[in-house]
Chains A and B, each alone.
Chain A
Amino acid sequence: MAADSAHASQHSPDGEETRRDFLYLVAGAMGAVGTGAFAWPLINSMNPSADVLALSSTEVDLTPIEVGQSVTVVWRDKPVFIRHRTEDEIAAANDVAINELPDPQTDADRVVKPEWLIVGGNCTHLGCVPLGQKTGDEKGEYDGWFCPCHGSHYDTSGRIRKGPAPLNLPVPPVEFLDDTTIKIG
Chain B
Amino acid sequence: MMKKLVFAAAAAAVAMSLGAAQAAEGIQAPKSTWSFSGIFGTFDQAQLQRGYQVYKEVCAGCHAMDLIAFRNLAELGYNEDEVKAIAAEYDVTDGPDDEGEMFDRPARPSDYFPNPFPNAKAAAASNGGSVPPDLSLMAKARAAGPDYLKAMLMGYEEDVPESVLQQIFEIETEKNRKRAEEIGLTDYNRVESVEDLGLPDTSSFNAYFPGYGIAMAAPLGDEAVEYADGTPATLENHAADVAAFLMWTAEPALDDRKQMGIKVIIFLLIFSGVLYAAKRKCWADLH
Contacts and interface: CB of A to CB of B under 8 A. Distances in A.
- Indicate yes or no for A touching B, C-beta below 8 A: yes
Interface string B261-287: 000000110110011011001100110
B28 interface: no
B158 to A, nearest CB: 43
B194 to A, nearest CB: 46
Contacts of B286: 2, 5, 8
B69 interface: yes
Contacts of A12: 285
B110 A20 contact: no
Q: How large is the interface on B (under 10, 10 to 19, 20 to 34, 35 or more residues)?
A: 10 to 19
A20 to B, nearest CB: 4
Interface centre among A16, A27, A51 (most CB of B within 10 A): A27
A9 interface: yes
A76 to B, nearest CB: 13
B51 interface: no
B109 interface: yes
Nearest to A23: B278
A15 to B, nearest CB: 11
Contacts of B110: 51, 54-55
B278 A51 contact: no
A176 interface: no
Interface residues of A, number: 20
A30 B271 contact: yes
Given A34-B267, A54-B71, A27 B275 contact: yes
Contacts of A5: 285-286
A118 B277 CA distance: 64
Given A54-B71, A54-B109, A23 B274 contact: yes
A8 B109 contact: no
Contacts of B285: 5, 8-9, 12
A54 B275 contact: no
29 contacts: A8-B285, A8-B286, A9-B285, A12-B285, A19-B281, A20-B281, A20-B282, A23-B274, A23-B277, A23-B278, A23-B281, A26-B274, A26-B278, A27-B271, A27-B274, A27-B278, A30-B267, A30-B270, A30-B271, A30-B274, A31-B271, A34-B267, A34-B271, A51-B69, A51-B110, A54-B69, A54-B71, A54-B109, A55-B110
Interface of A: 2, 5, 8-9, 12, 16, 19-20, 23-24, 26-27, 30-31, 34, 37, 50-51, 54-55
Can you list the 3 inter-chain pairs with the closest CB atoms, starting with the nearest? A8-B285, A54-B110, A23-B278
Given A8-B285, A27-B271, A51-B110, 8 more contacts: A2-B286, A20-B278, A20-B281, A24-B278, A27-B275, A34-B271, A37-B267, A54-B110
